Every structure is written in structure tokens, then in C-alpha cells.
């Protein structure tokens, strides 16, 4: 899935808030902590972050409120101008774009979904969804047709003429999603899209979102403060704290090998068996004698629980989707994960 | 711990420093007063000598002359007045009252307007608004005031949209450019405290007498709140909506027209409501520069003490005000509702179609039945004389007469005149020191400094005694209003039903053009100081009652519950829980009461006063623009002094209590 050129590549990105951030950043010689910077009268929204987002991948940025995750995403779309570093989108330095080019970029390549939906209250569902198309000057019948298409995609057909306040929260967010998809963006930013919804609806919307993603295969940057949500959706997770990245890895790695204590605290209460896949624990065959039926490396330990408990082999062969054996799994190690023992 | 104790030390130092300065100021003031009492005060310290007063008015006159004639501004303004503005006013005048000007179509039959008001009222707020809309116009026609009312309306329908457009543009500019906002802020606060007579004279000089000047003064008067509401609304647009606009690839212009302005709809419409109400209030007052209409008639009727007719005109004005207010407010809260798909176009535009059909229908009908077009001189149902008799005989009842006469005597002889003489006896510097210490005590350093500067300017304007009389009227009226209004508010706030209906009454009373408040004052007390104070008193009591109720009922329930559970009596709860928390809000009401009083005291010049208002009214007859400005600024500066002190107190207090 991963192509060689990243869709978004951020290098040493800084975003400082304060009276004259550029000058302050230049004066920073040694590494200063978030609190030291704050004592100087500046807030480090994003602090020396380097990340790449690959084509077709779903990157989830996770962090508590105030950790800088929303700021970082707003830097990617240049809703915020960064103080230092570079951000390239499709190889183009976005800080060097003119206003015209930036507008073009947003009109054709980017879509964004907001936490509190950001719907225009005076426009109907249809007009909201067609808004980005209207802004780029598409004519009325054409944008109507496209808007109806996306509205159908998010399952709101029949509600085109409603106004946002006539809809429930979940429905409003569907409008937000439809609007962000109307221009067929390459890159899809979602800023805590489901946090404002109640837990049952949230679950439903996550499923819906996974369905859409499977269908569309977009490059996605997804923000959440909900670790479970991150684990459920992500290809890779970025954990942020005080503006800097604590760890950037796959969900399995984050759960199995938290890089810092802060990350470890998050993973403490997580049922690791539901996150970790068999192939993460898999070791090379290395001449071990393999016997019996292999297990599927793509399954989580939790899904394999019955096999792990009932089987009496010490080593289990692991196979990929095609049935080719790729390695072995130590049953004891897997049972440790299952039972939550270290 | 150490940090805390040094902090405490600092606070006590500050307080001690503050009270020391305060005591010094007060001692100086009393020393001056004492010196005067024992006769050792030199005259130049009692009042500023004539020779020391700069000829501000003459200088201003020279400047205005320069702007007017040398720079040729007057040609521009006269062109606007005689060109586009007069054209618009002539058009609306023709349509509404049948002025012989293009397009020579009017007057529109009253029944056609009334029926449209019914439909619009129904669409905005159901049968009640429909009845209000229809009822107002039917009353106006039947009582025989149609032509006057339409003269007034024809100015409003031109001024309100113009004021709206200008206010919106300036508001957007103030929101977009910080320097512009910073520049506008002081100008707006002066404009909002400037007495309306000061708007009138420049309008007359630059824009001719009559409707055009009236319209210009009205527009100027109505713009400030529109600017403020626009800026407020644009600032309040949710950041996510703005970001959504950016992410949809809006250009700057698209952002403004498609995102910001529609998203600020509510505040902008509240601004529209205020524009309409201020236009009405001002149009009525333009009677003072000879604008025909309801205001002029009311002025004439009150002048000749025809109470019955004054009362009828008052009712018309109040009905118009309430109708315009309710309808525009209904428009604010009205949210768009979707139509089911496949609704035919005639159903989507049902309301406009019905209004159109009825309008044409009644226009045609009135060709057949002339009574539907115009209620003639002999046909109207005005009961002016009869009401006159009723009112006068009611006032002549011994009990009533006794009460009003006793009140008049008591207030005049025991309260007002002694108070006025006391204030007038205070030497100018001592007076300024007293005001400064009040401002400093209430609001802190900044308001104190402003009070010193502002009142010194007033002292050097050459109108000190009249300024003091103005201030005396304001203080007496507000004090009496507080004595009546605050207990009333406290009692009303006890039950939610009562507070609701009293709040509604206050809101309604606030929509009345201030002129209306003169009617009961004159009826009860005739033409004298007591009537002046009384008219201001009822005008100022409204915000006091209103904010007392709001303040008390917005005390968080868990705090009153905590007081109840601590076993406090009703009185203890009121004194030690509700009042302290409600005070900042009540202060806002108090401030508004003072501002309203400064406004009303000038209008009360009509009854006959000896203050700045009287002089201001006199300038209207001539061309003394400089003097007019000096007088107006005096009122404005005094009002601003109190405004700054009290609002700064309320803000500090709110911050300290952690409210909002």
C-alpha cells in the first residue's frame, strides 16, 4: 500500500503562540521544555515534530486536550502558519504557496471534518454539502448531482432539504463528512469527529467510517483523544504530549513496546489481547519443528484465545492470508498477553 | 505561604494607598467648602472667572465655518440632501402619505397596509402578532392619525435601511481592521452619550430643514448600535465554521459574504431591531426641528395642554413601537424550516402570495369604498375632547389632587430645591474633587483620572451652573428611581411568574420613544421641576427594575440552596447571598438608569428647565453650532464619567466573584 513519496511530510515543525514567535524560535539554542517555553511567555502548540503520512494510510494522532494534536493538523492544512520547519504536501512546501494556490489546494485536494461539525446554520444539508463545490464555481445542476451522491453515501438521502439544527448530532456529523468528501479530496483530515457524540452513536459512526474508508481508500489524518478509538481505527498512531511526539508506531507496537512512561500509562488499562495481532509476536522458524494446523497471523490474540488455551503445543505455526507459514508463535508468550501478565 | 503573605501585604498596601488618596481628596474638597461657608474663599476659587474661560464656542464656530464654506463640504452634503436622499424620501412620502412626487402612485390605502401587516405578523409570530400588526394600523386609521403616522413611517422606511447598511459596513470594517475599531470605540461612546439635540443642529445646517435633516439625524443616531452588534456577531462566529469555510476554499470575499455574515445572522438582526427602534425614537424627536408627523403633533398638543389628543397620539406611537419591536424580534428568532420535497412553488411562497393578493384586493376594494382608502376628517373616532374631560376630572378628584399637590409641594420644597441649592453652593474645584473621589472610590485610578479631566473641561466650558443643574436633576431622579425600582425588583424576583410579567412590561416600556414619558408627567404634575424629575424617574426606573430582577434571578440556585440549608431567613439570604452576587448586574442597570436620565433630562427641556437642555433647545432656533457642540459635549462628558466609574466597578467585581 505504501508508496515511496509521502503525501505529507513534516520536518522539525514548530508552532509557537506568543508576541513574536519567529524571533523567539531563532533565539532558542538549547532544547527547552514546554514549561520553560511557557515561562518565557510562549505556548508551544507544536514542538519540533517530524512525521510522514503515506499514501492510503490512516494515521491517528492521539493526545489529551492541549497536547497540540489539533494544532498540528491545522498546520498540515495551513489553517495555522507554522513558525519553523517545513511541511510538504505532495512534495510542495505549503508555506511557500500563494493565497491563490493555497485556495486551489484546499478546493481540490483536502477535506476536513470538525469536532463540532462546523456546519453553516443558514444552509440546508444539500447546500452545506455543495458549499465547497459552489466556492470553486461549479454550476448548480452539477454540484447538486455530486452533493446528492455524497449525501447518499453517508446515508442521509431524504434529508437534503433539512437545516442542520433539525438534525441529530450524528446526522449533523454525517453532513460534515459528506461536505468534506464532496470535492473528492486526496487527503482527509478528521479532527475528533466523533467526540461530540454519545457513546452508542460514536460506535456506529466509527463502523460507518471504516466502511467509507474501505470503499474510498483515502489518505487520512484522524485526531482523537480516545485511545480505544485510536487502536480501533489506526494503521499508525502518533501519541502527542505538550506539543511533541512521544511515540509514532503501529497499535501493536505501542501496546507491546511503549516508548515512554507516558505512553505506558495509556496502555495500562488496555486489553492488549484485543489489540495485538499474532504476527507481531511471531518469531522466525529457525529450524523449529512445526506440527499441526497453522493459525492466522492477521487475527488478534483475543480471537485466538480458545486455540491458545486448548492447544498443548509449545510452538504454534503462523500463516499469512494465503496460508503460507511465516513463523512460529510461542504459546506461552501469547498466553501471557491474553492473561495480561508481563 | 511566604508568597501568599507578600501578596496579602501588597493588597493591603494598595488598599491603604487608595484610601489615603481618597481621604486627601475629600479633605481638600471639604476644606474648600468650609472656606466658602466662613467667607474666606476667594471668588476665583468659587467659580472660574469669566476671563479665564476660553472661547471654545467661537473657535468651534470658526472651524465649522471653515469646513462648511471654505472646504465646500456644505455643497457635498446639500447635494446628498437634495439629490439621492430627498429622492428616496419623496418616493416613500408619495407611497405612504401621498406627497405629490414621483412615482405619483400613493397614497397606498390604509386597509391594504393593515392587511399586509396582518399577514407578515402571522408569518412571523402567529395570531398574536397578526392581531398586533393589524390592530395598530386599524387604530391609527380609525383614530384619524393615518397621515401623521405615515409621515413618520416614510422617514423610518428610508432611514432604517440606510442606517443598517452603513452600520453593517462600518461594523465589518471595525471587525476587520483593529486600528479602525480602536479609533471608532471612543467616537461611538461619545456618540451614544451625546444628547440628541446635538445631532439635530448639524443635520439642519448641513442638510436643510425638514425631512432630509430629520432623516440624517435619525440615521446618525441609529448607526452606533448596528456597528457594535455587527462587530460582536462577526467575532462570535464559531472558529470551526470559519475553518470549514477556509477548508472549502473560500476566497476572502466568499468568506465574508457566504460564511461570516450569514453565520452572524442573529446578532445582525438584533442590530436591525435596535436600528428600527432608535429610528422611531429619533424620528419622533425630530419634531423639534420642524419635522411633520406624530412627534410634531404630540409636541403641539402637549404644548397647548390638550391631554386627550396627546394621550391618543401617545397610544399610536406606543403601538407602532411595540409592533415594530415584536415583529423584528420575532424575525430574529425565526429559523428557516425545510419544505418536504416536491412542494410546489406556490406553496413555498404561500405567505408572499397571500400578502400580494390581499394587498391588490384591498387596493381595488378601496376604489369602490373610499373609507378603506382614507378615513376622512369627519369620519374618525377620535375622542380627544372627551378623554380630556375624563382626565381632567379624574385629576380634579380631591384625593388625587390632594396627593399630587402634596407630592409636588413636598418634593419641591423639601427635597429638590434644597438639594439643588446645596449643589450650586459648592465651589467648582470642590465639586470636581468630590466627583473625582467618587469615581476613584468606585472605579479605581483610570475612571478617577477621566473624571478629573472631563469635569475640568466642563468647568472651563462656561456653562458650569447649568451643568450642575443638569446633574442635580439626574441624581435626584435616579435616586428616587432607585428607592422605588429596587424594592419593586426585589419583590418581583421572589416569584418567577411575577418576575416574568414585570420583565415583559419593562421590555415593552423600553421600546417606547422617550418622548412618551412626558405625557403622564405633565398630566399629573403640570409644567414644573417635579414633572421633569417624575418623567425621568419613570424612564430610569425601568432598567433598574429590570436588572434587579435579572441579577437576583441569575444567582446560581446551588448558592441559594446552600443558604437555605444553612438555615438563613429570607432576609439573611437576600442580604448576604443574593445581593452580593447580583450587585454587578444591578450596577449595569444603575448605569443604564443614569445614561437614560442624561438622555431624558435634555428632552425634558420641553417642559421647561434651567439646565443645559434648555440652552441646547434654544440653539436649535439659530445657527450657533459651536455653542450647541459645547453644550452637547458637556452632557456627554458628565455621562461618560459615571459610565466609566460604574462599569469599571461592575467588571472588577464580576471578575473577583468569578462570574462569567
Q: Span B84-101, mean pLDDT?
A: 88
Is position A196 within any domain?
Answer: yes
Q: Say whether B373 sits in a helix, a strand or coil.
A: coil
Identify the burial level of B180 via C-beta atoms within 10 angstroms of its C-beta, where 0-12 means exposed, 13-18 middle and 19 or more buried: middle
The CA distance from A158 to B548, in Å, is: 49
User: Which pLDDT score, from 0 to 100, does residue B457 have?
Assistant: 93
Domain contains B548: yes
A115, A161, A180 ranked by CB distance to B338: nearest: A161
| Per-residue model confidence as pLDDT tens digits over B217-271 | 999 999 999 999 999 999 999 999 999 999 999 999 999 999 999 999 999 999 9
C-alpha B431/C-alpha B415 separation (Å) is 20
For the segment B552-579, the average pLDDT, to the nearest whole number, is: 88
The answer to whether residues A214 and A320 belong to one domain is no
A260 and A282 fall within a common domain = no
Show the domain range for A214: 8-109+185-270
Q: Peptide bond before B564: cis, by omega within 30 degrees of 0? A: no
Of A120, A158, A161, the CB nearest to B241: A120
* Residue B650 to chain A, least CA–CA distance (Å): 29
Last residue of a domain, one of A270, A295, A328: A270
Contact B239, B119 (CB under 8 A): no
- CB pair distance less than 8 Å for B335 and A74: no
Q: At B547, list the grid cell.
A: 436588572
Contact call for B247 and A110, based on CB within 8 A? yes
Which contacts qualify for B34-39: CB closer than 8 Å, 24 or more apart? B35/B427, B36/B425, B36/B426, B36/B427, B36/B430
CB atoms within 10 A of CB B240: 18
Same domain? B401 vs B276: no
pLDDT per residue of chain A (342 residues) written in tens, 0 to 9: 444 688 999 999 999 998 889 888 888 877 788 888 888 889 999 999 999 999 999 999 999 988 999 999 999 999 999 999 999 999 899 999 999 999 999 999 999 999 999 999 889 999 999 999 999 899 999 999 999 999 998 889 889 889 999 999 999 999 999 999 999 999 999 999 998 888 888 888 899 899 888 888 899 999 999 998 998 899 999 999 999 999 999 999 998 889 999 999 888 888 888 888 888 888 888 877 777 888 888 888 888 888 888 888 888 888 888 888 888 888 888 888 888 765
Q: Which residues of A touch B251 (CB under 8 A)?
A: 103, 135
User: Is A125 domain-assigned?
Assistant: no
Residue B6, pLDDT score? 63
CB A271, CB A337: distance < 8 Å: no
pLDDT at A40: 87
| Cβ atoms within 10 Å of B252's Cβ, excluding its own | 10
Grid coordinates belonging to A191: 479532527
Distance CA A226, CA A207 (A): 15
Closest residue in A to B239 (Cα–Cα): A118
Grid cell in block for residue B473: 436633576
- What residues of B are in contact with residue A161 (Cβ under 8 Å)? 338-341
Report CB contact under 8 Å: A114, B243.
Answer: yes
Contacts of A308 (CB under 8 A, 6+ apart): A301, A316, A331, A334, A335, A338
Nearest residue on chain A to B253, alpha-carbon basis: A135
Task: State yes or no: pLDDT of B16 exceeds 70.
Answer: no
| pLDDT tens digits for range B292-305 | 899 999 988 888 88
Q: Is residue B247, in this structure, part of any structural domain at all?
A: yes
Same domain, A250 and A315: no
CA separation for the pair A188, A8 (Å, rounded): 11
Q: Tell me how long chain B is.
A: 660
The mean pLDDT of B390-418, rounded to a whole number, is 87
Please work out, in degrees rounded to the nearest 5, the angle formed at the alpha carbon of residue A287 by the alpha carbons of A282 and A288.
Answer: 60
| Of the residues B226, B252, B284, the one at which a domain ends | B284
What residues in B contact A158, CB-CB < 8 Å? Answer: 341
Q: Strand A315-319's sheet: what is its strand order?
A: A295-296, A315-319, A325-330
For the domain that residue B653 is a member of, what is the CATH number?
1.10.3720.10
Number of domains in chain A: 2
Same structural domain, B84 and B214:
yes
Alpha helices (runs of H) in B493-556, residue ranges in sequence order: 496-511, 518-525, 529-553
User: Do A245 and A280 sit in the same domain of this protein?
Assistant: no
In sign, the C-alpha dihedral spanning B115, B116, B117, B123 is positive
Q: Is residue A263 part of a domain?
A: yes
So what's the pLDDT on residue A1?
42
Query: Are A83 and A214 part of one and the same domain?
Result: yes
Using a CB-CB distance cutoff of 8 angstroms, which residues of chain B are in contact with residue A162?
A: 338
Cis amide linkage into residue B342, ω under 30° from 0:
no
Which of B246, B259, B262 has its CB closest to that of A79? Answer: B246
Q: What is the pLDDT of residues B469-525, one digit of tens each?
A: 999 999 999 999 999 999 999 999 988 899 999 999 998 888 888 888 888 888 888
Neighbours of A43 (CB within 10 A): 17
Residue A95 has a pLDDT of 92
The complex's ipTM works out to 0.87
Mean per-residue pLDDT of chain B? 88
Separation between Cα atoms, residue B273 and residue B324, nearest integer Å: 8
* A99 and A220 co-located in one domain: yes
Q: Is A70 a domain residue?
A: yes
Residue B537 is predicted with a pLDDT of 92
Q: Which of B215, B250, B284 is the last residue of a domain?
A: B284
The reply to whether A211 and A226 lie within a common domain is: yes
Do A335 and A203 lie in one domain? The reply is no
Residues A102 and A237 in one domain: yes
CB contact under 8 A, B265 and A121: yes
* Count of the separate structural domains present in chain B: 2
Q: What is the pLDDT of residue A280?
A: 84
User: B249 vs A136: CB contact, 8 Å cut-off?
Assistant: yes
Closest Cα of chain B to A215: distance in Å?
Answer: 23
**What percent of chain B is predicted at pLDDT more than 70?**
97
Q: Count of A–B CB contacts within 8 Å?
A: 83
Task: Confirm whether B603 is domain-assigned.
Answer: yes
Rounded-to-integer distance, Cα A309 and Cα A316, Å: 12
CB environment B316-345: b (16+ within 10 A), e (fewer): bbbbbbbbbbbbbbbebeeeeeeeeeeeee
User: CATH number, domain at A213?
Assistant: 3.40.50.300
Tell me the C-alpha distance between B637 and B619, whole Å: 19
> Which residue, of B249, B265, B284, is where some domain finishes?
B284
Give, in degrees to the nearest 5, the angle at Cα A230 between A224 and A234.
Answer: 120
C-alpha cell at B98: 401621498
> Do A266 and A302 lie in a common domain?
no
pLDDT per residue over B302-353, tens digit each?
888 888 888 899 999 999 999 999 999 999 888 878 887 778 888 888 889 9
Instruction: Tell me what the pLDDT averaged over chain A comes to.
Output: 89
Q: How many residues does chain A have?
A: 342
pLDDT digits (tens, 9 = 90+) for B592-606: 999 999 989 988 888
Distance CA A114, CA A192 (A): 7
Chain B interface test: which of A73, A89, A103 (most B C-beta within 10 Å): A103
How confident is the model at residue B1, as a pLDDT?
46
Of B249, B336, B341, the CB nearest to A135: B249
Q: Are residues B585 and B555 in contact, defined by beta-carbon separation less than 8 angstroms?
A: no
Kindly report the CATH number assigned to the domain that includes residue A317: 3.10.580.10
Structural domain harbouring B492: 397-657
pLDDT in tens, B122-161: 999 999 999 999 999 999 999 989 999 999 999 999 999 9
Chain A residues near any Cβ of chain B (below 8 Å): 74, 77, 79, 103-104, 106-108, 110-112, 114-124, 131-132, 134-136, 158, 160-163, 165-166, 176, 179-180, 189
Q: What are phi and psi of A318, to 5 degrees?
A: -115, 135
Min distance A324 CA to chain B CA atoms (Å): 46
Residue B268: closest CA among B409, B401, B170: B170
Domain end among A225, A247, A270:
A270
The domain boundary, picked from A242, A270, A298, lies at: A270
Residue in B with minimal Cα distance to A113: B244
Contact A119 B244 (CB under 8 A): yes
**CA atoms within 13 Å, Cβ hemisphere of B485:** 26
Check whether residue A206 and residue A97 sit in a common domain.
Answer: yes
Chain B interface test: which of A122, A134, A157, A160 (most B C-beta within 10 Å): A122
Residues 6 or more apart whose Cβ sits within 8 Å of residue A242: A33, A34, A44, A47, A67, A68
Say whether both A240 and A310 belong to one domain: no
Amino acid at each position: 500500500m505504501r508508496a515511496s513519496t509521502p503525501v505529507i511530510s513534516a520536518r522539525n515543525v514548530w508552532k509557537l503562540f506568543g508576541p513574536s514567535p519567529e524571533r523567539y524560535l531563532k533565539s532558542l539554542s538549547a532544547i527547552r521544555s514546554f514549561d520553560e517555553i511557557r515561562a518565557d511567555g510562549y505556548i508551544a502548540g507544536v514542538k519540533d515534530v517530524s512525521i510522514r503520512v503515506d499514501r492510503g494510510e490512516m494515521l491517528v494522532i492521539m493526545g489529551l486536550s492541549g497536547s497540540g494534536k489539533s494544532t498540528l493538523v491545522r498546520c498540515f492544512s495551513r489553517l495555522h502558519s507554522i513558525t519553523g520547519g517545513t511541511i510538504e504536501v505532495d512534495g510542495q512546501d505549503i508555506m511557500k504557496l500563494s493565497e491563490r494556490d493555497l485556495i486551489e489546494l484546499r478546493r481540490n485536494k483536502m477535506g476536513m471534518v470538525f469536532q463540532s461539525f462546523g456546519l453553516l446554520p443558514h444552509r440546508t444539508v444539500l447546500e452545506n454539502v455543495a458549499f465547497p463545490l459552489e466556492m470553486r464555481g461549479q454550476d448548480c445542476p452539477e454540484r447538486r448531482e455530486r452533493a446528492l451522491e455524497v449525501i447518499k453515501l453517508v446515508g442521509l438521502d431524504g434529508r437534503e432539504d433539512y437545516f442542520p439544527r433539525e438534525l441529530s448530532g450524528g446526522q449533523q456529523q454525517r453532513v460534515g463528512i459528506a461536505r468534506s468528501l464532496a470535492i473528492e479530496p486526496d487527503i482527509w483530515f478528521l479532527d475528533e469527529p466523533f467526540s461530540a457524540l454519545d457513546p452508542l452513536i460514536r460506535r456506529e459512526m466509527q463502523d460507518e467510517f471504516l466502511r467509507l474508508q474501505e470503499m474510498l481508500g483515502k489518505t487520512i489524518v484522524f485526531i482523537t483523544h480516545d485511545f480505544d478509538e485510536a487502536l480501533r481505527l489506526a494503521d499508525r498512531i502518533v501519541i502527542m504530549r505538550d506539543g511533541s511526539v512521544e511515540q509514532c508506531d503501529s497499535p501493536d507496537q505501542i501496546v507491546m513496546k511503549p516508548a515512554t512512561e507516558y505512553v505506558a500509562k495509556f496502555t495500562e488499562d488496555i486489553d492488549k489481547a484485543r489489540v495485538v495481532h499474532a504476527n507481531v509476536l511471531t518469531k522466525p522458524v529457525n529450524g523449529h519443528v512445526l506440527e499441526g494446523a497453522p493459525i492466522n497471523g492477521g487475527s488478534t490474540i483475543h480471537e485466538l484465545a480458545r486455540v491458545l488455551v486448548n492447544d498443548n503445543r509449545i510452538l504454534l505455526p503462523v500463516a499469512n492470508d494465503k496460508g503460507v507459514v511465516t513463523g512460529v508463535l510461542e504459546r506461552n508468550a501469547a498466553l501471557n498477553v491474553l492473561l495480561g501478565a508481563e | 505561604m511566604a508568597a501568599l503573605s507578600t501578596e496579602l501585604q501588597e493588597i493591603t498596601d494598595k488598599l491603604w494607598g487608595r484610601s489615603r488618596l481618597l481621604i486627601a481628596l475629600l479633605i481638600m474638597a471639604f476644606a474648600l467648602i468650609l472656606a466658602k461657608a466662613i467667607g474666606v474663599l476667594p471668588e476665583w476659587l468659587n467659580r472660574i472667572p469669566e476671563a479665564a474661560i476660553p472661547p471654545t464656542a467661537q473657535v468651534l464656530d470658526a472651524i465649522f465655518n471653515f469646513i462648511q464654506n471654505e472646504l465646500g463640504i456644505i455643497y457635498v452634503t446639500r447635494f446628498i440632501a437634495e439629490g439621492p436622499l430627498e429622492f428616496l424620501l419623496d418616493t416613500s412620502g408619495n407611497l405612504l402619505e401621498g406627497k405629490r412626487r414621483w412615482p405619483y402612485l400613493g397614497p397606498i390605502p390604509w386597509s391594504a397596509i393593515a392587511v399586509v401587516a396582518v399577514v407578515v405578523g402571522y408569518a412571523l409570530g402567529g395570531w398574536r402578532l397578526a392581531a398586533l400588526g393589524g390592530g395598530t394600523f386599524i387604530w391609527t386609521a380609525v383614530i384619524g392619525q393615518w397621515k401623521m403616522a405615515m409621515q413618520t413611517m416614510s422617514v423610518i422606511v428610508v432611514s432604517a435601511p440606510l442606517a443598517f447598511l452603513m452600520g453593517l459596513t462600518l461594523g465589518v470594517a471595525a471587525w476587520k481592521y483593529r486600528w479602525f475599531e480602536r479609533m471608532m470605540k471612543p467616537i461611538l461612546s461619545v456618540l451614544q452619550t451625546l444628547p440628541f439635540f446635538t445631532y439635530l443642529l448639524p443635520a439642519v445646517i448641513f442638510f436643510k430643514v425638514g425631512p432630509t435633516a430629520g432623516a440624517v439625524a435619525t440615521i446618525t443616531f441609529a448607526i452606533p448600535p448596528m456597528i457594535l452588534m455587527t462587530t460582536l456577531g462577526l467575532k462570535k462566529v464559531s472558529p470551526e465554521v470559519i475553518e470549514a469555510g477556509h477548508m472549502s476554499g473560500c476566497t476572502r470575499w466568499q468568506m465574508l459574504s457566504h460564511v461570516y455574515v450569514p453565520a452572524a445572522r442573529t446578532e445582525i438582526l438584533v442590530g436591525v431591531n435596535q436600528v428600527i427602534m432608535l429610528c422611531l425614537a429619533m424620528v419622533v424627536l425630530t419634531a423639534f426641528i420642524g419635522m411633520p408627523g406624530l412627534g410634531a403633533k404630540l409636541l403641539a398638543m402637549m404644548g397647548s395642554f390638550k391631554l386627550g389628543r396627546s394621550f391618543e397620539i401617545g397610544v399610536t406611537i406606543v403601538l407602532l413601537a411595540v409592533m415594530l419591536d415584536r415583529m423584528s424580534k420575532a424575525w430574529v428568532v425565526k429559523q428557516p424550516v425545510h419544505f418536504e420535497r416536491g412542494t410546489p412553488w406556490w406553496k413555498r411562497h404561500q405567505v408572499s402570495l397571500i400578502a400580494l393578493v390581499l394587498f391588490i384586493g384591498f387596493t381595488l376594494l378601496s376604489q369602490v369604498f373610499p373609507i378603506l382608502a382614507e378615513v376622512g376628517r369627519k369620519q374618525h373616532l377620535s375622542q380627544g375632547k372627551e378623554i380630556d374631560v375624563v382626565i381632567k376630572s379624574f385629576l380634579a378628584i380631591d384625593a388625587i389632587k390632594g396627593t399630587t399637590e402634596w407630592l409636588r409641594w413636598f418634593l419641591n420644597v423639601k427635597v429638590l430645591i434644597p438639594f439643588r441649592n446645596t449643589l450650586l453652593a459648592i465651589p467648582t474645584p470642590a465639586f470636581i474633587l468630590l466627583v473625582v473621589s467618587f469615581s476613584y472610590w468606585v472605579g479605581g485610578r483610570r475612571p478617577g483620572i477621566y473624571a478629573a479631566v472631563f469635569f475640568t473641561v466642563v468647568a472651563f466650558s462656561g456653562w458650569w451652573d447649568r451643568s450642575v443643574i443638569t446633574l442635580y436633576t439626574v441624581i435626584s431622579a435616579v435616586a428616587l428611581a432607585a428607592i422605588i425600582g429596587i424594592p419593586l425588583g426585589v419583590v418581583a424576583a421572589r416569584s418567577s411568574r411575577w418576575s416574568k410579567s414585570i420583565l415583559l412590561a419593562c421590555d415593552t416600556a423600553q421600546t417606547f420613544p422617550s418622548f412618551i414619558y412626558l405625557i403622564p408627567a405633565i398630566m399629573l404634575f403640570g409644567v414644573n421641576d417635579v414633572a421633569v424629575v417624575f418623567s425621568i424617574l419613570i424612564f430610569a426606573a425601568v432598567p433598574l427594575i429590570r436588572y434587579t430582577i435579572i441579577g437576583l434571578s441569575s444567582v446560581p440556585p446551588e448558592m441559594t440552596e446552600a443558604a437555605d440549608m444553612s438555615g438563613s431567613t429570607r432576609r439573611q439570604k437576600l442580604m448576604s447571598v443574593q445581593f452580593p452576587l447580583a450587585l454587578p448586574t444591578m450596577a449595569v442597570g444603575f448605569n443604564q438608569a443614569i445614561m437614560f436620565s442624561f438622555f431624558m433630562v435634555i428632552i425634558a427641556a420641553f417642559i421647561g428647565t434651567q439646565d443645559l437642555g434648555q440652552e441646547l433647545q434654544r440653539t436649535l432656533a439659530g445657527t450657533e453650532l459651536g455653542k450647541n457642540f459645547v453644550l452637547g459635549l458637556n452632557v456627554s462628558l458628565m455621562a461618560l464619567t459615571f459610565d466609566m466609574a460604574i462599569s469599571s466597578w461592575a467588571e472588577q467585581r464580576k471578575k473577583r466573584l468569578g462570574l462569567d
